[in-house]
């Protein structure tokens, strides 16, 4: 039992596997997966027919990359076809017989028709394992209480995550954020969690409100870990420092809900970030593509592209070359923590990318630049557009809050310093529209940084 607690990794054999060996395992599983998909789903069979190939023609990753990328829009169209043919939206892509399907999940989007995928018990076990790998390597052990303060009604942050925490033997409090800040604080008081899982924005909100609502600062709540999810902020040194100082906790960025793509950053000081280690490589093949052309991008250190994933050793409804709309930056150089494998940072949603005078700008980069000026600015902001992006007619308008201590007369000088910083680091010259602290609503779920105004 003591060995169990003291071991550093949940699944040492897989998690320490050298990259070359991992690629062989992936290729072997990929060949079996494509044959399985082809044989069990007319939808996938058609994908091969489009390029005139059969599963046995897929001998390398490059062969596999000839299969067209599937987008969310295409997924929605396939769901409509599935309803027409089978009476439900998932049967067309499901590869396992109906009696083996034990869960239907949705990808994380909150707008538009939900896109669904299915899991068998085997797939649920895979997902549980991935959550266990992440929290275990962060140092969580049985006996730790983890407060789950994400939106529980969104599948990625809900039940699959609770189950994964229980699977590794830690204790989960799935309070969710639907009940509001006070309820989360009530459950912190009642259950004394050592870890919290929440969006960075919600973390910041708690830090701001804690003294007023419970009579003590957030760093006295007893949290040892703050796990960021749902927003890119957890990879941003300014956000990480704010959370680490505010809670007196270690800050980890992590991702992965009910599917096969999971990652977590390593244990490092908040002002550093070496990317999230891709912990589910044995069950997920990752590729990067250009968000517009969907052409494959070389997986080199520093490459940025839209992530495309393929589930490996998945029985239910396995995604194959699926583009979920997230933009990743890749890290391939060895990590100082010594763990093998590639790492990534989620830069933002492909649909959140803005182009200002030919420069690509993500809300995460704006947040990072603004937080350099905290506490004179709160870091809460909105990008105001008069029509949907990505093309923005300059100047880029940013509504932002000045901090409590700042007088309106100080703003012109502050703004000059900020403009210089933005020009150098974000390569845009925005127009700042100031409002007092507390004016912009704090989002408990996923913050929408872009607002369309007329």
Contact positions toward Zn ion, by CB under 5 A?
266, 335, 337
Residue whose tokens read 């990752």: 286
Nearer to Zn ion, 250 or 321 (CB): 250
Nearer to Zn ion, 252 or 314 (CB): 252
Nearer to Zn ion, 190 or 337 (CB): 337
Nearer to Zn ion, 266 or 406 (CB): 266
Nearer to Zn ion, 177 or 335 (CB): 335
CB of 328 to Zn ion, least distance (A): 16
CB of 308 to Zn ion, least distance (A): 24
HEC readout, the chain? CHHHHHCCCCCHHHHCCCHHHHHHHHHHHHHHHHHHHHHHCHHHHHHHHHCCCCHHHCCCHHHHCCCCCEEHHHHHHHHHHHHHHHCCCCCCCCCCCHHHEEEEEECCCCCCCCCEEEEEHHHHHHHHHHHHHHHHHCCCCCCCEEEECCCCCCHHHCHHHHHHHHHCCCEEECCCCCCCHHHHHHHHHHHCCCEEEECHHHHHHHHHHHHHHHCCCHHHCCCCEEEECCCHHHHCHHHHHHHHHHHCCEEEEEECCCCCCCEEECCCCCCCCCCEEECCCCCEEEEEECCCCCCEECCCCCCEEEEEEEECCCCCCCCCCEEEEEEEEEECCCCCCCCCCCEEEEEEEHHHCEEECCEEECHHHHHHHHHCCCCCEEEEEEEEECCCCCEECCCCEEEEEECCCCCHHHHHHHHHHHHHHHHHHCCCCCEEEEEECCCCCCCCCCCCCEEECC
CB of 268 to Zn ion, least distance (A): 7
Nearer to Zn ion, 275 or 379 (CB): 275
CB of 17 to Zn ion, least distance (A): 15
Nearer to Zn ion, 337 or 391 (CB): 337
CB of 426 to Zn ion, least distance (A): 27
CB of 275 to Zn ion, least distance (A): 8
Beta bridge partners of 287: 308
CB of 240 to Zn ion, least distance (A): 15
CB of 27 to Zn ion, least distance (A): 25
Nearer to Zn ion, 333 or 448 (CB): 333
């Amino acid at each position: 039992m003591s060995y169990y607690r003291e071991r550093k990794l949940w699944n040492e054999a897989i998690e320490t596997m050298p990259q070359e060996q991992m690629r062989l395992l992936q290729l072997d599983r990929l060949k079996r997966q494509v044959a399985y998909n082809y044989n069990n789903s007319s939808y996938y069979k058609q994908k091969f027919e489009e390029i005139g190939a059969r599963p046995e023609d897929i001998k390398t990753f490059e062969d596999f990359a000839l299969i067209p990328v599937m987008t969310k829009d295409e997924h929605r169209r396939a769901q409509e076809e599935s309803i027409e043919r089978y009476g439900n939206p998932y049967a067309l892509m499901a590869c396992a017989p109906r009696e083996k399907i034990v869960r239907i999940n949705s990808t994380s989007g909150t707008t538009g028709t939900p896109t669904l995928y299915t899991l068998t018990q085997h797939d649920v076990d895979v997902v549980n394992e991935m959550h266990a790998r992440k929290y275990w390597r962060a140092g969580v052990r049985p006996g730790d209480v983890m407060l789950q303060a994400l939106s529980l009604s969104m599948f990625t942050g809900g039940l699959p995550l609770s189950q994964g925490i229980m699977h590794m033997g830690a204790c989960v409090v799935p309070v969710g954020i639907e009940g509001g800040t006070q309820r989360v604080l009530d459950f912190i008081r009642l259950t004394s969690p050592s870890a919290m899982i929440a969006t960075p924005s919600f973390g910041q909100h708690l830090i701001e409100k804690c003294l007023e609502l419970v009579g003590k600062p957030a760093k006295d709540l007893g949290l040892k870990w703050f796990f960021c999810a749902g927003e890119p902020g957890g990879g941003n040194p300014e956000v990480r420092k704010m959370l680490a100082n505010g809670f007196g906790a270690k800050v980890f960025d992590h991702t992965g809900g009910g599917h096969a793509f999971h990652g977590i950053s390593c244990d490092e000081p908040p002002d550093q970030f070496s990317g999230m280690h891709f912990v589910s490589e044995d069950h997920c093949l990752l590729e990067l593509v250009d968000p517009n052309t969907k052409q494959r991008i070389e997986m080199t250190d520093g490459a940025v592209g839209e992530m495309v994933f393929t589930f490996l050793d998945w029985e239910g409804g396995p995604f194959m070359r699926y583009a979920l709309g997230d933009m990743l930056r890749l890290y391939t150089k060895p990590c100082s923590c010594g763990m093998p494998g590639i790492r990534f940072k989620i830069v933002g949603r492909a649909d959140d990318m803005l182009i200002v005078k030919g420069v690509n700008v993500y809300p995460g980069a704006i947040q990072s630049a603004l937080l350099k000026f905290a506490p004179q600015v709160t870091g809460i902001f909105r990008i105001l557009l008069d029509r949907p992006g990505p093309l923005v007619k300059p100047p880029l308008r940013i509504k932002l809050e000045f901090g409590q201590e700042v007088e309106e007369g100080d703003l012109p000088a502050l703004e000059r310093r900020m403009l210089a910083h933005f020009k150098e680091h974000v390569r845009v010259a925005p127009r700042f529209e100031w409002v007092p602290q507390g004016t912009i609503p704090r989002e408990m779920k996923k913050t929408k940084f872009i607002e369309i105004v007329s």
